[in-house]
Amino acid sequence: LSLLAAASAAAQACSWLWLRSDPPALRPAVPVALLAALHLLQLGFFFRCLHALKVGWRVCWAKAEEEDEQRHMAFLSHDISMLRLFETFLENTPQLTLLLYIILRTNKAELSQGLGMGTAFLCVSWSLLDYHQSLRSFLQDKYELSLRSSIIYFLWNLFLICPRILVVALFALLWPYGLAVHFPLVWLAMFLWVSLQGTDFMESAGPEQLYRAMVAVVLYFSWFNVAQGRTLYRSIIYHGFILVDSTLLALAWLWGRAPSEEHSYLLPVVSAALPCYLLGLGLRVTYYKWLHPNVQVRQEGRFDEVDASDRVEFRSFLEPDLVNRRMQWLAQTHFTLSQPARQHFLNGAAAV
Under 8 Å CB-to-CB from 243, ≥6 apart: which residues? Answer: 277
When pLDDT is cut at 50, 70 and 90, the band that residue 313 belongs to is low
**Domain boundary residue among 126, 154, 189?**
126
Same domain assignment for residues 72 and 164: no
Domain-located, residue 224: yes
Task: Please check whether residue 246 lies inside any domain of the structure.
Answer: yes
Regarding whether 182 and 57 lie in a shared domain, the answer is no
* Cα gap 282→295, rounded to integer Å: 17
For residue 25, being part of any structural domain is answered with yes
- CA 8 – CA 13 distance, rounded (Å): 9
In a domain, 60, yes or no: yes
Q: Within this chain, do residues 62 and 192 fall inside the same structural domain, yes or no?
A: no
How confident is the model over 81-133, as pLDDT tens digits?
999 999 999 999 999 999 999 888 888 878 888 888 889 999 999 999 999 88
| Residue 38 domain-assigned (yes or no) | yes
Q: Do 122 and 218 belong together in one domain? A: no
306 assigned to some structural domain: no
**Do 11 and 115 share a domain, yes or no?**
yes
Do 33 and 108 sit in the same domain of this protein? yes
Place 230 in a pLDDT band, splitting at 50, 70 and 90: confident
Coil, strand or helix at 183: helix
| Residue 284 counted as domain residue | yes
The pLDDT of residue 281 is 93
Are 34 and 175 part of one and the same domain?
A: no
The reply to whether 118 and 164 lie within a common domain is no
The residues, any chain, with a CB within 8 Å of residue 104's CB and separated by 6 or more, are: 169, 170, 173, 263, 266
In the prediction, which pLDDT does 78 show?
A: 84
Instruction: Count up the domains in the chain and report the number.
Output: 2
Q: Do 39 and 105 belong together in one domain?
A: yes
Q: State whether 36 and 108 are in the same domain.
A: yes
| Domain identity same for 70 and 188 | no
CA distance 223 to 292: 16
| pLDDT 10s digits, 122-180 | 999 999 999 988 887 766 666 777 888 899 999 999 999 999 999 999 999 888 899 99
**Domain containing residue 74:** 1-126
Please indicate, yes or no, if residue 10 is contained in any of the structural domains.
yes
Shared domain check, 187 and 277: yes
